[in-house]
Amino acid sequence: MNNLTEQFNNPQATQQFQGGALAMASASREMEEVKGQIFMAKQFPRNIFAAEQRILDTCKRPALAAVAMYRYPKGGTNVTGPSIRLAEAIAQNWGNLSYGIQELEQRNGESVAKAFCWDLETNVRQEKVFTVKHAIGLKGGKLKQLTDPRDVYEKVANDGARRLRACILGVIPGDVIDKAVQQCTDTLAGNSQGPLKDRVAKMLEGFKNHYRVTQEMVEEKFGYSANSFTEFDYVELVNIANSLKDGMSKVEDWFNKEDAKKADGGLGAEFKKEVKDDAAANANVPANEG
């Protein structure tokens, strides 16, 4: 009895007791939530055909199709695959999935986190535990330590996105993923936002403004003039842009910087001239009078 009284009179012991009680209560609550999710999944199982149709309908949205794929060079070849945005869209429409990223602990300037995806119907689960250093790389190989909690959170979220994508794609059937990718490609190729030459010109202008990649550098990579670009070439340009935007690759991985020295400032001029000529022809005005 005296030992018990001494234990509760000790602030450190009391704090440890309260911490243990809170941990047990939290674990119990999480367990009940999981049971509830499993119960609802069993009560309302997914209609596979309806879920697949929802996924394909979502992939018909041009905004999603534009960010659905990533590309980056590796070992002399191009690696391509579904992006985290497409994986999330598929998971949302597949239904009865529990997925996300959890930070397990922070210690010595690093975080231990977990990405997971769990099919509540079939009990198929993918899980990846990884460590994230609280630092970002700078030019010259230097590292900048992160101390702001928001910066740390964003670093963990960014590093966890690739693991989360892998977990989702490991749970969803492969044929569903393939159909979604094909539908996104078809949507992007059949995008009716404007003529192909206008969309290519806009893409080339974006490469120059954001990445200092000229039309000549793009043509050098593809091996032929931008006038000869097809819908498939346009899709590849979009995939490269997504890769650069997401930080999956660098400009040097795709384009030869030496070509920039020989490039002039007439990016897309030929495209713009063709658009002007078309407009003049439609107005029955000779192009040289415009």
Q: What is the pLDDT of residue 256?
A: 80
Give the model's confidence band at 269: pLDDT under 50 very low, under 70 low, under 90 confident, else very high: low
Q: What is the pLDDT of residue 180?
A: 95
User: Best-predicted range by mean pLDDT among 88-97, 133-142, 219-228, 279-288?
Assistant: 88-97
Separation CA 240–CA 246 (nearest Å): 10
Separation CA 28–CA 33 (nearest Å): 9
Contact call for residues 99 and 89 (beta carbons, < 8 A): no
Q: Is 233 exposed, middle or buried (0-12, 13-18, 19+ CB in 10 A)?
A: middle
Pick the residue with more confidence: 21 or 235? 235
Mean pLDDT of 143-165: 91
